[in-house]
Amino acid sequence: MRPQTSNTPARPHVVILGGGFAGLQAARALARDPVDVTVIDRRNHHLFQPLLYQVATAALNPGDIATPIRSVLRDQRNARTLLAEATHIDLGARVVQLHDGAIGYDYLVVATGATHSYLGQDQWAAVAPGLKTVEDALDMRRRILLAFEDAERAEDVQTRSALLTFVVVGAGPTGVELAGALAEIGRFTLARDFRSFDPRGLRVVLVEGGNRLLTAMSETLSAAAERQLTDLGVEVRKSAKVTDIDEHGVTFADGSRLASRTVLWAAGVQASPLGVCLSAPTDRAGRVHVEPDLSLAGHPEAFVAGDLMHAPAGEGIVPGVAPAAIQSGQHVALAIRARMAGRPTAPFVYRDKGSLATIGRAAAVGSLAGFEVRGFLAWWLWWIVHIAYLIGFRNRLSVMIGWAWQYFAFRRGARLITGRALRRSPSLPPGRPSQS
Size of the chain, expressed as the number of residues it contains = 436
Q: Which of 28, 91, 121, 152 binds a copy of itself (CB under 8 A)?
A: 152
Q: What is the DSSP letter of 302?
A: E
Q: Are the beta carbons of 253 and 243 closer than 8 angstroms? A: yes
Interaction residues for a copy of itself, span 98-127 (CB under 8 A):
98-105
Rounded (5°) CA angle 281-265-307:
30
Residue 9 lies near a copy of itself (rule: CB under 8 A): no
Interface segment toward a copy of itself; rule CB under 8 A; list 111-119, 177-185, 258-266, 398-406: 398-406
CA 191 from chain center: how many Å? 29
H helices of 132-237, where?
134-153, 157-163, 173-184, 219-231
**Per-residue binding letters, 23-62, with a copy of itself (x by CB under 8 A):** ---------------x---xxxx---------------xx
**96 forms bridges with which residues in the sheet?**
89, 103
Q: Which of 33, 119, 132, 149 binds a copy of itself (CB under 8 A)?
A: 149
Residue 253 has φ and ψ, to the nearest 5°, of -55, -35
Q: How many CA atoms lie within 13 A of 225 on its CB side?
A: 33
Instruction: Choose, from 152, 155, 177, 235, the residue flagged as catalytic.
Output: 177
Residue 117 has φ and ψ, to the nearest 5°, of -125, 140
Interface segment toward a copy of itself; rule CB under 8 A; list 71-79, 209-217, 271-279, 359-367: 71-79
Residue 301 lies near a copy of itself (rule: CB under 8 A): no
Residue 312 lies near a copy of itself (rule: CB under 8 A): no
Residue 251 lies near a copy of itself (rule: CB under 8 A): no
Closer CB to a copy of itself, residue 388 or residue 422? 422
Secondary structure of residue 247 in the 3-state scheme: coil
- Computed from CA positions of residues 102, 105, 111, 116, in that sequence, does the dihedral angle turn out positive or negative? positive
Q: Closest by alpha carbon to 64, among 352, 372, 406?
A: 406
Residue 435 lies near a copy of itself (rule: CB under 8 A): yes
| Closest distance to a copy of itself from the beta carbon of 426 (Å) | 10
| Closest distance to a copy of itself from the beta carbon of 432 (Å) | 4
| Closest distance to a copy of itself from the beta carbon of 387 (Å) | 15
Closer CB to a copy of itself, residue 194 or residue 380? 194
Residue 417 lies near a copy of itself (rule: CB under 8 A): yes
| Closest distance to a copy of itself from the beta carbon of 188 (Å) | 12
Residue 421 lies near a copy of itself (rule: CB under 8 A): yes
H helices of 19-166, where?
21-29, 52-56, 62-65, 69-72, 134-153, 157-163
Residue 90 lies near a copy of itself (rule: CB under 8 A): no
| Closest distance to a copy of itself from the beta carbon of 277 (Å) | 17
Q: Does the active-site annotation cover 177?
A: yes
β pairing state of 249-252 and 242-246: antiparallel
Secondary structure of residue 29 in the 3-state scheme: helix
d(CA 272, CA 309): 10
| Closest distance to a copy of itself from the beta carbon of 348 (Å) | 28
| Closest distance to a copy of itself from the beta carbon of 149 (Å) | 4
Interaction residues for a copy of itself, span 193-232 (CB under 8 A):
193-196
Residue 11 lies near a copy of itself (rule: CB under 8 A): no
Residue 408 lies near a copy of itself (rule: CB under 8 A): no
Residue 85 lies near a copy of itself (rule: CB under 8 A): yes
d(CA 80, CA 38): 5
What are the start-end ranges of the E strands in 18-132? 36-41, 45-47, 66-68, 79-83, 86-90, 95-98, 101-104, 107-110, 114-115
Interaction residues for a copy of itself, span 317-376 (CB under 8 A):
none
Q: Which of 157, 351, 370, 432 binds a copy of itself (CB under 8 A)?
A: 432
Interface segment toward a copy of itself; rule CB under 8 A; list 18-26, 93-101, 122-130, 377-385: 93-101
User: Catalytic amino acids?
Assistant: 177
